[in-house]
Amino acid sequence: VETDFHRRYASREMLEIWSAEQKFRMERALWIAVMKAQSKAGLEIPEAAIKDYESKKSIIDLESIANRESILKHDVKARIEEFNSLAGHQHIHLGLTSRDVTENVEMLLIQESLELIRLKCISLLHSFGERIKEFKEIPIVARTHNVPAQVTTLGKKFSVWADEQIFSLRHLEELMNRLPIRGIKGAVGTSTDMRSLLGERVSYFEAEISSFFGNENSSNSTSQVYPRSIDFEVIATLVQLAAASNNFAINVRLLAGLGHLQESFSDSQVGSSAMPHKMNPRLSERINSLFSVLKGYLSMIENLVGEQWNEGDVSCSATRRAAISGSFLVVDGILDTAIDVTQGLAISSKSIENELQRELPIIASSEYLMLLVKKGLSRELAHKQLGKALRDYKDSGSSTTEDLYEVLSKNSEPSITKQELQSILDNPILLTGSASSQCDLVVTEIRKWVAKVKGAASYRPKVSI
Amino acid sequence: VETDFHRRYASREMLEIWSAEQKFRMERALWIAVMKAQSKAGLEIPEAAIKDYESKKSIIDLESIANRESILKHDVKARIEEFNSLAGHQHIHLGLTSRDVTENVEMLLIQESLELIRLKCISLLHSFGERIKEFKEIPIVARTHNVPAQVTTLGKKFSVWADEQIFSLRHLEELMNRLPIRGIKGAVGTSTDMRSLLGERVSYFEAEISSFFGNENSSNSTSQVYPRSIDFEVIATLVQLAAASNNFAINVRLLAGLGHLQESFSDSQVGSSAMPHKMNPRLSERINSLFSVLKGYLSMIENLVGEQWNEGDVSCSATRRAAISGSFLVVDGILDTAIDVTQGLAISSKSIENELQRELPIIASSEYLMLLVKKGLSRELAHKQLGKALRDYKDSGSSTTEDLYEVLSKNSEPSITKQELQSILDNPILLTGSASSQCDLVVTEIRKWVAKVKGAASYRPKVSI
Amino acid sequence: VETDFHRRYASREMLEIWSAEQKFRMERALWIAVMKAQSKAGLEIPEAAIKDYESKKSIIDLESIANRESILKHDVKARIEEFNSLAGHQHIHLGLTSRDVTENVEMLLIQESLELIRLKCISLLHSFGERIKEFKEIPIVARTHNVPAQVTTLGKKFSVWADEQIFSLRHLEELMNRLPIRGIKGAVGTSTDMRSLLGERVSYFEAEISSFFGNENSSNSTSQVYPRSIDFEVIATLVQLAAASNNFAINVRLLAGLGHLQESFSDSQVGSSAMPHKMNPRLSERINSLFSVLKGYLSMIENLVGEQWNEGDVSCSATRRAAISGSFLVVDGILDTAIDVTQGLAISSKSIENELQRELPIIASSEYLMLLVKKGLSRELAHKQLGKALRDYKDSGSSTTEDLYEVLSKNSEPSITKQELQSILDNPILLTGSASSQCDLVVTEIRKWVAKVKGAASYRPKVSI
Amino acid sequence: VETDFHRRYASREMLEIWSAEQKFRMERALWIAVMKAQSKAGLEIPEAAIKDYESKKSIIDLESIANRESILKHDVKARIEEFNSLAGHQHIHLGLTSRDVTENVEMLLIQESLELIRLKCISLLHSFGERIKEFKEIPIVARTHNVPAQVTTLGKKFSVWADEQIFSLRHLEELMNRLPIRGIKGAVGTSTDMRSLLGERVSYFEAEISSFFGNENSSNSTSQVYPRSIDFEVIATLVQLAAASNNFAINVRLLAGLGHLQESFSDSQVGSSAMPHKMNPRLSERINSLFSVLKGYLSMIENLVGEQWNEGDVSCSATRRAAISGSFLVVDGILDTAIDVTQGLAISSKSIENELQRELPIIASSEYLMLLVKKGLSRELAHKQLGKALRDYKDSGSSTTEDLYEVLSKNSEPSITKQELQSILDNPILLTGSASSQCDLVVTEIRKWVAKVKGAASYRPKVSI
């Protein structure tokens, strides 16, 4: 499924995993492993024949396979005949059905992809971590309902995205430990043909082949296909893993709109073909755009969940062909882009400060409220009086501390002293509560994750145009 | 976006429409049209320069364009510079923004694709029509809740799918008449730059360029992009257009499960790599599978509806890149496959008849009910008595008319005579009500549609493996 | 389906349409119309009996119906027996199946709802129109990629949402004209039972009943149910109709974030239980939130499209029960809220102006570009030079015209004169191109729509908390 | 959110959890816990006041709350004032923001609901287990592509659904262990106000309140809201948990279509208002229908994932209000219905046997293939010959072993002996491979799950009509 679309956004490594060649290579490895296991279980397969298959396993002629498929109208049968013809034997696929091959190979590709995604999530976490440390003491206006609310720190913002990423990473690791391999179970999941071939020695075979898969979670009972709710959990996990990136990207766009930050911009780059001055958060927009694609792929897979007729059919095939590889390629692009944006982000401290100075007298309102409550005013009354006072102050258009003091003291009794007020306005960082210590907690957590996976800290994505 | 996935399912014609080459060709045609219109509106562009562009417009070097894009990090700018470099001038894209190019070209590609889809829908309708005529008097067990209900005809089944197709075709035609072209409106939709260039003569320009688009539904007011709810209606219409095919395919699978019919099967074909006897309704399954993909693409586009920030950005770009072309390629594959299956379907009259004979004594129940009501029995009482009688008859395992008569007459008073019963069982076609005349109505309607579009009746899809 | 959720957001009128009582009333009206039509077609139904039904049709005892249903385990049968028991006869539902009742009543409710939605869309259009007229000459920074791009007018922003609304309204009107009524077709769509009852006089019956429905688009061929792709188009149209509201709401939130505007805020209102100063665009957020719900309902209905087995079953029932009424109630809430927000919006001219003054020197960049092109500079070269110059100027932190002139003239030859520059900066409204005339076009169009529907201009929604 | 819709399908227990009363009860418990913790941390709150709140906590007057909300236009503020007014104090909600209350209470309701869902999943597993044991040695035609493929056992079919259920249950348990509580973090997640109130003693407070939540997974850093990707994993898990039920239900419908089984049917029940004989798998259809609803709710929640602006707003509120409770109520209905259908299912051994006898000669094809391979014939050649032979045999319409032998021996060399053939046809159970032992594995696994949860084995749902 290497396409213009996916080549544009996905990494070389992920494209490699989902290439036709890689699939065919793994199918052949599986067929060879089956022959060896069958041979150990007593089926007569000449050792020389297995060697012949081994020697040809890397010769992948996509055109020849396509030609066979157009005649046989069956894709796996075409690959069987191609491999047989290369090796000059007919020993592969004995006792197997097509899905014995494809279901297992797909799951192996999924597992390989999940490993890669895990690396990238942790690499993103690492990049977030660097930014948290850098920004954890920079006060900035926090917004709820997109309007100024209280004070937080810029690092705290990154820590929230990191924390979301960590929760999803826990799910990923659990899933990776839990994912089963369907195994070699035949056309309707009963292993009937393999039993007919091998009799009671079928158990030798199964032990042998399960060590090839290297997975202990073999299904106890499956039909021709494994349940598509497993695919669903996999792809839903990818959506979950991309959520922090999407949140990050949306907020980069919002902060860029306020002039607080900007994506990296190279000298040769063009922002707009019409407007020469433009520098746009277009990679963040790309993340959001790819996230919409990812959710669409999930919806494709969702259509297959719980919809299996009898022992199975191919009403899931084209869907999975599009959506599984598609999801991995897209989430790969999202994560690489998020890492790239995080690392390249330029901050405008001046813009951040200006906004804070402008909004502080108003958004310190809950601080005033706590002060009044501690002075013995009842909470709901103080809330009401402050609301009116601050709205009046805002409407007046004034920005002097004097006027603010005036309006605050006019409305409530007991009131805030001028000194108290000045002290609040002079030290916005004191209004950021636990922001900094929360940053520390998250950074500590990130360190544990980064330590687990080699290469996560040093990974640098190549994000195309 | 030509991919393994889409090459496998879509037609040559549709792949051509959504190729990079076709997009670039249309962009260049648009740039040339703009220069000509600007020239007419008084902007000084040397005629020779326009000729130079004209003479190079077909030279499309994908690699060179890709190289430029990797430096400029802006796809349209790369294509501008490529075309300028080929022609040796810098006259294109004056007063334009990238979206002036891409939004319009995409809409032109959409319109072209809709034309092709319309042809295929009508061709499918034609094929359904042939089958309706062939099968309209073949009685068959109708099922509700998947269990035998009454008698219908096989042709009637096809007429229902055809009728669904016709309703959606009406929507398609209305939509095609209603689709607007965004036009050349500049970076934020105000035509500011073109006005700066051309002054009041901008109206000449606009008249000229709108005749290039050949579309009278120009938007009255748009921003940088046209509203994505228009894309949404387009793709939702494709889902609607594919619904009849999906219904058809599911029912082919159900009827194949009863042995009543079978998809065409060639001699060289292989049904299953494990089970030599298999002949499967796999193309119908493919239709269902592609429909899941199509709905996923709709969900991608749905994520963009009503989500435009300000005058626009590229948070819709990757999504539309994947989903718009993808939807057309997939619906194209669905329709081609549905036509192919309809034309190739083989019916087993014997299987259909056997089932009818087996179920008729039971499923004539509403006929018995009407008879009793006409004899004066109250409806709800008769309903209750018949229910019990027929369940008893079924449990007895009997299949003789005698026993049926027995059980029916035992339970109700007045009752059904033996002669009435025999007459019902002897003439299942009399129990099909208006089925045949409804078939005629639908066939008449189909004829009108087929007459409208040249080539619809003779179209034969090339459905790959 | 009247629920806490829907009562919170939907209007009294829409809740009324989708109440159990309204459904049962319409079912009874249909049963009575059927009896009358059957009587005309010669079936013996005592006139007195019909009168008895008529006299009881408004007595709706939900509890009694629920009790019957718990015994019969069939909802329609319960309502038949209730109505029979009230009237003391058993003449209703002769020749009918449950779906003859429910499918038609649902479509009548859909049509009634669409009328109401149309009124509200046009009312919203009217409100947009008032704002367009008010704001069409107020220049404001236009943003692409959420950062300043060019100048537009505030009215122009509203005109774009209005234009999107108009496109979707056209779809709505076409759909309303096209929607078919399934009609009385019996258990599998063949009208078999009615034919058995009435013989050839069935055609009298059908003419009579179709005049009851008042709809000429009767289906030519249907099964027990009408195709769910019709429901899909209906609900997809609602999503499309809500798109402009959603776009509007998102942009209210963005503009509120810049301080440019604010939703209406009453004196008794509380913005935040923690922060006394808060005034939030929470109704706009509600619109966005309800839109997510609406799209979820569409996805429910989408699951039914093209998924009909044989002549039908109830695997669509619970889904339609949740999603159809739900969609109408939610879109109703969206439109009412959008009208309310539009009418109550307060603008901060000062904030809008401040931003414009700050950004103008930079965002006039395409104006500079056109000027240089007209002076003979090649477009791509001028683009490059301007890009560099303006980024330098921005980085310098300066905001004087002098410095701007400096940086512009240093970079290009020929250059922009000081006078030209001043003239651009002094007249931002001149940089808004066709914005004002586009507003006029849209207002003219709106007037036509408003003239068509009585009450649209005067409609005032009651938006709850 | 108790609605007609949900009352129809959900259980009393689940409706109770998601009632307004239960939510308000938990909010009040939280407010009281906060006061006690604050008091311990040194804030002056009179013990008598806390007692007054305690004494009024169960008086829930929905109407009074609604009235307050209509004035304040803020739902939580309304509930604060109601509780204050009941108690005659203003000590609750000090240092809190609304989301400190709602986010935590919702998570507690989610956890409670997950416990209930877990019980029902295991109860379903138990019911599946009973059926597996009952049916594990009953041979039945296995179908792929909905047409006869090989032989399996009826118990094996149930074991596949059970195995799917077990995989999803593992996810559920991991999720339940991993779900965090947001905790009391204030308006933007920095705990600023609580710190202002309590100073350094805030840590006492936090320890105290976290023991109220009884959850160790407190978030390290959150904003006003917890990340909606957590909601997404919760609801996606519900979809996953319902997948086995949906698969089961679809296959009940398919098997009912073949006459092999039937849902329980009581004497007073009516299958169809038109056709007295009908007995329909309508509960299975309901499961499928509710599953479409459930997926729609997931799609609502999906719209919120990764879409948080800044520190949060209410653009998620209406969506979560509809979708979270809705999902739990619907999945509850699905599971209850699936348990009910499983327990009530009636099997027709005769129908199952008849089909097997009819299809066996053909579907033993892979058995013939293995036999020929063991005799030394090359696999692909044997496959080809058998395919042709069996298609010929089928077309001939014959059903005698003699003819089958004829056609098989004519086509291949070496061939199958008459004795071998007879032995295959006489013992279909021998063609079911590992079906029975797989059933045993699954039953063993089920036993472990049932042992873990009290009441799972004895649970009997009350499925309404």
pLDDT tens digit string along C35-70? 999 999 999 999 999 999 999 999 999 999 989 988
Q: Which residues of D touch A73 (CB under 8 A)?
A: none
- The distance from CA D58 to its chain's CA centroid, rounded to whole angstroms, is 32
Name the one residue in this structure whose structure tokens are 């189909």. B446
Nearest by CB: A76 against B20, B74, B273: B273
Task: Please answer yes or no on whether C309 and B146 come within 8 Å at the CB atom.
Answer: yes
Give the type of residue at C464: S
pLDDT for C138: 98
| Predicted confidence band of residue A236 (pLDDT cuts 50, 70, 90) | very high
Chain D, nearest residue to B251 by Cα: D146
Phi and psi of C133, rounded to 5°? -60, -45
The whole-number average pLDDT for the span D70-88 is: 91
pLDDT of C215 strictly over 90: no
Which tokens go with C271?
């913005």
A315 touches B281 (CB < 8 A): no
- Chain D contact probe: residue of A83, A171, A310, A416 with most D CBs at under 10 A: A310
Exposure string for B403-419, b = 16+ CB within 10 A, e = fewer? ebbbbbbebbeebbeee
Q: Which residues of D touch A448 (CB under 8 A)?
A: none
Chain C, nearest residue to B145 by Cα: C313
Task: Please answer yes or no on whether A289 and B70 come within 8 Å at the CB atom.
Answer: no
DSSP C191-251: -HHHHHHHGGGHHHHHHHHHHHHT-S-B-SS--SS--HHHHHHHHHHHHHHHHHHHHHHHH
Chain A, nearest residue to D227 by Cα: A164
pLDDT for C2: 46
A432 touches D185 (CB < 8 A): no
Q: Which residues of C touch B222 (CB under 8 A)?
A: 160, 163
Chain B, nearest residue to C147 by Cα: B310
Tens-place pLDDT, residues C95-138: 899 999 999 999 999 999 999 999 999 999 999 999 999 999 99
Question: What contacts D427, CB < 8 A, 6 or more positions away?
Answer: none
Question: What contacts B462, CB < 8 A, 6 or more positions away?
Answer: B11, B12, B336
The mean predicted confidence, pLDDT, of chain D is 93
Alpha carbon distances (Å) from D221 to A441, C274, D313? 8, 19, 17
Strand-pair category, D147-153 with D139-144: antiparallel
Task: Please answer yes or no on whether B465 and A74 come within 8 Å at the CB atom.
Answer: yes
Task: Please answer yes or no on whether A191 and D433 come within 8 Å at the CB atom.
Answer: yes
Give the type of residue at D341: V
Nearest by CB: A379 against D90, D230, D305: D90
Q: Which residues of B touch C222 (CB under 8 A)?
A: 160, 163
- Of D18, D225, D41, B453, the C-alpha closest to A247 is D225
Task: Please answer yes or no on whether D268 and C73 come within 8 Å at the CB atom.
Answer: yes
Give the type of residue at A13: E
pLDDT for C252: 98
Return left, alpha or beta for D3; rule: phi > 0 is left, psi -120 to 50 is alpha, else beta.
Answer: beta
- Of D205, B5, B451, the C-alpha closest to A75 is B5
Which DSSP symbol is given to A181?
P
Nearest by CB: A310 against D143, D180, D295: D143
The CB density around residue D133, as the number of other CB atoms within 10 Å, is: 15
CA-CA distance, D92 to D31, in Å (whole number)? 6
Tens-place pLDDT, residues D108-136: 999 999 999 999 999 999 999 999 999 99
CA-CA distance, A136 to C172, in Å (whole number)? 52
The CB density around residue C1, as the number of other CB atoms within 10 Å, is: 20
Neighbours of chain D (3+ CB pairs under 8 A): A, B, C
- Report which of residues B434 and B5 the model is more confident about: B434
Q: Which residues of D touch B271 (CB under 8 A)?
A: 387
The whole-number average pLDDT for the span C222-240 is: 98
Chain A, nearest residue to D197 by Cα: A370
Q: How close is the nearest chain A Cα to the Cα of C51, in Å?
A: 50
Nearest by CB: C5 against D71, D96, D322: D322
Which DSSP symbol is given to B417?
-
C323 touches C301 (CB < 8 A): yes
| Predicted confidence band of residue D140 (pLDDT cuts 50, 70, 90) | very high
CA-CA distance, C247 to B168, in Å (whole number)? 28
Name the one residue in this structure whose structure tokens are 């059904």. B416
Dihedral over Cα of C27, C28, C32, C38: its sign: positive
C393 touches C404 (CB < 8 A): yes
Nearest by CB: C370 against B80, B193, B312: B193
| Predicted confidence band of residue A4 (pLDDT cuts 50, 70, 90) | confident
Q: Which residues of C touch D246 (CB under 8 A)?
A: none
Phi and psi of A351, rounded to 5°? -60, -45
Chain A, nearest residue to D164 by Cα: A227
Task: Please answer yes or no on whether A300 and B293 come within 8 Å at the CB atom.
Answer: yes
Nearest by CB: C280 against A147, A258, A383: A147
Q: How close is the nearest chain C Cα to the Cα of A268, in Å?
A: 9
The whole-number average pLDDT for the span B201-217 is: 88
pLDDT for B273: 75
Q: Which residues of D touch B384 (CB under 8 A)?
A: 276
Dihedral over Cα of D65, D69, D75, D80: its sign: negative
Tens-place pLDDT, residues D188-243: 999 999 998 998 899 899 889 988 998 778 789 999 999 999 999 999 999 999 99
pLDDT for C1: 44
Is the peptide bond between B414 and the residue preceding it cis, with omega within 30 degrees of 0? yes
ipTM associated with this complex? 0.95
Alpha carbon distances (Å) from B109 to B16, B53, B324, C26? 11, 22, 10, 46
Give the type of residue at B91: H
| Predicted confidence band of residue A3 (pLDDT cuts 50, 70, 90) | low
Tens-place pLDDT, residues C275-288: 888 889 999 999 99
| Predicted confidence band of residue D3 (pLDDT cuts 50, 70, 90) | low
Strand-pair category, A261-262 with A346-347: antiparallel
Count of H helices and E strands in chain D?
19, 4
What is chain B's Cα-based Rg?
30
Task: Please answer yes or no on whether B290 and A319 come within 8 Å at the CB atom.
Answer: yes
SS3 label, residue B434: coil
Exposure string for B226-265, b = 16+ CB within 10 A, e = fewer? bbbbbbbbbbbbbbbbbbbbbbbbbbbbbbbbbbbbbbeb
Chain C, nearest residue to A350 by Cα: C397
Chain A, nearest residue to C252 by Cα: A146
CA-CA distance, B334 to B283, in Å (whole number)? 9
| Predicted confidence band of residue A2 (pLDDT cuts 50, 70, 90) | very low
Q: Any idea which of A201-210, B167-176, C18-27 has the lowest mean pLDDT?
A: A201-210
pLDDT for B374: 85
CA-CA distance, B192 to B106, in Å (whole number)? 23
pLDDT for D370: 85
Q: Which residues of D touch A174 (CB under 8 A)?
A: 171, 174, 178
Alpha carbon distances (Å) from C375 to A198, A276, C369, D258, D360? 87, 17, 10, 82, 88
C303 touches C232 (CB < 8 A): no
Phi and psi of B383, rounded to 5°? -60, -45
The most confident of the ranges C8-12, C305-309, D205-209 is C305-309
pLDDT of D173 strictly over 80: yes
Phi and psi of C144, rounded to 5°? -120, 150
Residues paired with residue D150 on neighbouring β-strands, in sequence order:
D142
Task: Please answer yes or no on whether D4 and C9 come within 8 Å at the CB atom.
Answer: no
Tens-place pLDDT, residues A187-200: 999 999 999 899 88
CA-CA distance, C424 to D177, in Å (whole number)? 64
Tens-place pLDDT, residues D264-282: 887 777 777 778 888 899 9
Give the type of residue at C8: R
SS3 label, residue A136: coil
pLDDT of A271 strictly over 90: no
pLDDT for D388: 86
Nearest by CB: C362 against A145, A277, A280: A277
Tens-place pLDDT, residues A442-463: 999 999 999 999 999 999 999 8
The whole-number average pLDDT for the span B5-23 is: 93
Task: Please answer yes or no on whether C147 and A386 come within 8 Å at the CB atom.
Answer: no
Which tokens go with C49?
């009996």
Which spans in C88-153 are helix H?
Answer: 98-135
- Report which of residues D154 and D371 the model is more confident about: D154
Q: Any idea which of B368-377, C284-293, C334-343 has the lowest mean pLDDT?
A: B368-377
Residues of chain C contacting A, Cβ within 8 Å: 143-147, 149-150, 253-254, 256-258, 270-282, 285, 299, 303, 350, 362-363, 365-366, 368-369, 382-387, 390-391, 394, 397
The whole-number average pLDDT for the span A252-279 is: 87
The CB density around residue D26, as the number of other CB atoms within 10 Å, is: 18
CA triple B132-B136-B142, angle to 5 deg: 105
Task: Please answer yes or no on whether A254 and C256 come within 8 Å at the CB atom.
Answer: no
Tens-place pLDDT, residues C342-397: 999 999 999 999 999 999 999 999 889 889 988 888 888 888 889 888 888 888 88
SS3 label, residue D444: helix
